[in-house]
Amino acid sequence: MQNQDSSDKLPAHVAIIMDGNGRWAQARGLSRSAGHRAGADAVRTVVTRCRTLGIRHLTLYAFSSENWNRPRAEITALFSLLLEFLQQEVPLMEEKGIALKVFGDVDGLPLAQRTALRHAISRTAGGQHMTLNLALNYGSRAELVRAIQSFVRDGVRPEDITEASLAARLYTAGQPDPDLLIRTSGEQRLSNYLLYQCAYSELYFTPVAWPDFDESQLDAALAAYAGRSRRFGKTQEQINGC
Ligand code: IPE
Ligand code: IPE
Ligand code: MG
């Protein structure tokens, strides 16, 4: 019996933990920054493929709140790659109808990146085909704390705090929860990514390092997703019957 929830449908929202740039570079005798540069190329490939396939929401973990603990030179390299990426990609995104959003504490980013992101977000805001969310200076626990603080600040009564009203105060407001969460490079953990939103996401772990994650790797992840049976607490018989 076909599973109507996934096998004949693409995920509406794919979230990716793009991991393994450092090890990819190390294995080739390159600097970690060179690994991140190769990782940025994989971002271009995957965004284009998702747009072609008709995936409506793509969320990429680009820099976690905890990544500030990395060496200064690596952080600098990552942020200059971000600027380069925005300069090159924003006109193309605009052309392809891709709206850029940022999940995370933008105010905590360096001024040049903050400015470029604000510009990119407003320039692509009309994009109707796909939303590309970049999780930058993002941590899921911080996101939840921020949402709770906003309830208190707005004087919301406890009985008005619901799953829906909480979801509306997360960065993902207005977008569906990720159907599929992919993590590359063999690690099998969430690293503080979309903890609330991924309650029912299908998880896909691959040993492939992020710079090697290409169209065929994405297609393999989507095929695995299509073979999953999503039940959301129901029995398989109930799913088959509806
Ligand atoms: C992912 O690759 C990119 C970021 C976290 C910014 P890593 O840099 O974590 O690569 P590994 O895990 O060290 O190989
Ligand atoms: C998660 O990868 C963050 C990003 C991909 C941006 P990390 O490499 O930072 O995660 P841990 O530290 O191995 O859990
Ligand atoms: Mg890593």
Ligand 2 proximity of 18 Cβ (cutoff 6 Å): yes
Per-residue pLDDT of the chain (242 residues; tens, 9 = 90+): 334 444 458 999 999 999 999 999 999 999 999 999 999 999 999 999 999 999 999 999 999 999 999 999 999 999 999 999 999 999 999 999 999 999 999 999 999 999 999 999 999 999 999 999 999 999 999 999 999 999 999 999 999 999 999 999 999 999 999 999 999 999 999 999 999 999 999 999 999 999 999 999 999 999 999 999 999 999 999 989 86
Task: Report the candidate in 112, 108, 99 with the shortest Cα–Cα distance to residue 47.
Answer: 99
CATH architecture type of domain 13-230: 3-Layer(aba) Sandwich (3.40)
Domain ranges of the chain: 13-230
- The catalytic residue positions are 19, 67
Task: Report the candidate in 225, 175, 170 with the shortest Cα–Cα distance to residue 196.
Answer: 170
Ligand 1 proximity of 61 Cβ (cutoff 6 Å): no
Q: Supply the DSSP symbol for 69.
A: G
Residue owning the nearest CA to atom 6 of ligand 1: 63
Instruction: Give the number of the atom of ligand 2 that is nearest the alpha carbon of residue 62.
Output: 6
